[in-house]
Amino acid sequence: MAGPTIDRSLVLHVARLASLSLDEGEADRLAGELATIVEYVAQLGALDTRDVPPTAHVFLDRMPLRADEPRPGLTREQALAQAPSVEGEGFAVPAFVERK
Amino acid sequence: MHVADVADRVARGELTAEAACARSLEAIAAKDGALHAFLHVARDEALAAARAVDDRRRRGEPLGPLAGVPVAIKDAICTEGLPTTAASKILRGYVPPYDATAVARLRAADAIVVGKTNLDEFAMGSSTENSAYGVTRNPWDPSRTPGGSSGGSAVAVAAGMAPCALGSDTGGSIRQPASLTGTVGLKPTYGRVSRYGLIAFASSLDQIGPFASDVRGAARVLSVLAGRDPRDATSLDAAVPDLEAACGREVRGLRVGVPDEYFAEGLAPEVGESVRAALRALEERGCVLRPVRLPHTSYAVATYYVLATAEASSNLARYDGVRYGLRVDPRLDLRAMIGATRDAGFGAEVKRRILLGTFVLSSGYYDAYYLKAQKVRTLLRRDFDDVFREVDVVCSPVSPTPAFKFGEKLADPIAMYLSDVYTLPASLAGLPAMSVPCAPTRAGLPVGLHVVARPLEEATMLSVAAACEAAFPCASPL
């Protein structure tokens, strides 16, 4: 397969998708490393897989679903106990709704 | 003392659980300063749990199959009330409110959790050098890594700090460190052991399994761990045979497949010699060796790094600084808080894999990389389907080299990834596979024999491993 060019701008685009803030030095270094890895994995393109179904999971056929019944989970206190910031009965986060 | 020796002596009243636990804690105090297998030692909790087992014995109550057996737990597995970090800064100080099912089953069998062991951050690595909390040293040669990612668990057992430990194996993270430290390490069939409470790396590959100082110990721990868990939809509802009895079973007539592809370029000659000697020992015990072909083997590393990183990029999206773990919050908006938290909390290898995984799943590249790798995974599975029509197990080296030095492979991610070349195919096919020590190298470094079996045929695998163990009895190094 014709490989894409892995440069700083592609790395920064992917980092945005992955919610990672990278500084430019880090982005340059990772661009070089990822280019090497992507070039290595491109060898898969040599295999003819036209009639081959994908494997997402090995034993999907023998995994029974359990009954969909409510049962007790963590208490609110347990769920909030590890949070970096709590307000009232919930997790506190910085503002994400734009103000008028 | 091995797992069964401890449990059986505790059950008979010849040894108290407290004494067994104290012995383990003393070994940790004496040795772990130099080796750093543990991230957290649960001294008080362990002694209290051991005394409770002894009290129950005094009252005449029946004890579980792991009564008083000290066990070390890889720090990617949740333990109620004990810190669980996955060796990442992003989970520093995290204390889970629940036990993983595997841990709960160990406790219910009266095992004693003595501590949490070091790993490559989020199990991403093959040397334990990617831990955010320092490296773990190989007790056979402290200038060398113990392998990884479950390096701490391997060293805890290799150095006699605990007779058994839990690890997790996504692409070889139990078997490769077992091979490099002269311990027994077993990855069960995918779905054999519940993943509930295992911090997820690649969910279609991750599997919890035991390390032990002998094959029978690994079998006993696995019989405690195995079985359906309603909390893990991927756990299999399959009967668990008597795995310990399998360790004493004759191997005469078993057909052992020896794949050409696993003895090709890249295999250190000394490792090849040890493994061939192990195969001859199996032949002397009546196994029938057959050359087999696994033609897609050379594609396993590329397939794995596409699929495992794709799944990791999705699994690690949960670390957002909101519900638990680290938050870096320079009074910014939500997106900036999440980005800054993840940038500060994840190490270099984890970022590399998140980015690769996000890339192969992203618009325009999904078919060429992710879907392609899923199809090649099918080809790798078919290789094994074909071979297992002809043979009962497949045997090979676990790792192409013995334990390597610190820093030797860190600069080159692909060299590090290639150290998993023999363990990845069984992971991608979901097969049970284990490492059992065979003859060490002339320099005295351990070498493991890799035994792979059909799905759910851990018993056959254990019979072959026990036969190898009988031919190459190996002592704890420290």
3-state secondary structure B218-258: HHHHHHHHECCCCCCCCCCCCCCCCHHHHCCCCCCCCEEEE
Answer yes or no: is A42 within a domain.
yes
Q: Residue A63 CB: number of other CB atoms within 10 A?
A: 15
Peptide bond just before B149 cis, omega within 30 deg: yes
Stated length of chain A: 100
In chain B, residues with a C-beta closer than 8 Å to the C-beta of A49 are: 372, 375-376, 378-379
Q: What is the pLDDT of residue A2?
A: 55
- What interface predicted TM-score (ipTM) does this complex get? 0.93
Answer yes or no: is A94 within a domain.
no
- Stated as kind and residue range, the H or E segment containing B113 is strand B112-117
- pLDDT band of A99, cuts 50, 70, 90: low
Q: Which of B24, B127, B131, B149 is catalytic?
A: B149
Cβ B375–A53 below 8 Å, yes or no? yes
- Report which of residues A55 and A61 the model is more confident about: A55
Cβ A83–B359 below 8 Å, yes or no? no
- Is the pLDDT at B153 greater than 80? The verdict is yes
In chain B, residues with a C-beta closer than 8 Å to the C-beta of A57 are: 204, 234
Tally of domains within chain A: 1
Find which of B189, B335, B355 to mutate to test the A interface (most A CBs within 10 Å of its CB).
Answer: B355
B264's tokens: 């090709």
- pLDDT band of B332, cuts 50, 70, 90: confident
Q: What is the pLDDT of residue B477?
A: 55
Task: Report the largest interatomic distance among the alpha carbons of chain B, rounded to a whole angstrom.
Answer: 70
Of B98, B325, B355, which has the smallest distance from its Cβ to A14's Cβ? B355
CATH classification at residue A39: 1.10.20
Cβ A20–B355 below 8 Å, yes or no? yes
Q: Side chain identity at B298, as an amino acid letter?
A: S
Answer yes or no: is A26 within a domain.
yes
* CB contact A53 to B (< 8 Å): yes
B252's tokens: 């005469």
Cβ B321–A84 below 8 Å, yes or no? yes
In chain B, residues with a C-beta closer than 8 Å to the C-beta of A93 are: 322, 334, 337
Answer yes or no: is A25 within a domain.
yes
Give the CATH architecture of domain B3-254+436-447: Alpha-Beta Complex (3.90)
In tens, the pLDDT along B437-469 reads 999 999 999 999 999 999 999 999 999 999 999
Answer yes or no: is A84 within a domain.
no
In angstroms, rounded to a whole number, what is the distance separating the alpha carbons of residues A36 and A13? Answer: 18
In chain B, residues with a C-beta closer than 8 Å to the C-beta of A63 are: 191, 233-236
- pLDDT band of A64, cuts 50, 70, 90: confident
How much is the mean pLDDT over chain B?
96
Answer yes or no: is A85 within a domain.
no
In angstroms, rounded to a whole number, what is the distance separating the alpha carbons of residues B380 and B369? Answer: 16
The residue ranges of DSSP E strands in B285-401, in sequence order, are: 288-292, 393-397
* CB contact A63 to B (< 8 Å): yes
* CB contact A76 to B (< 8 Å): no
Domain edges within chain B: 3-254+436-447
In chain B, residues with a C-beta closer than 8 Å to the C-beta of A33 are: 352, 413
Q: Is B168 a catalytic residue?
A: no
In angstroms, rounded to a whole number, what is the distance separating the alpha carbons of residues B67 and B50? Answer: 9
In angstroms, rounded to a whole number, what is the distance separating the alpha carbons of residues B109 and B63? Answer: 7
Q: Is B149 a catalytic residue?
A: yes
Of B331, B339, B377, which has the smallest distance from its Cβ to A19's Cβ? B339
Q: Residue A37 belongs to what domain range?
A: 1-49
Mean pLDDT in residue range B130-143: 98
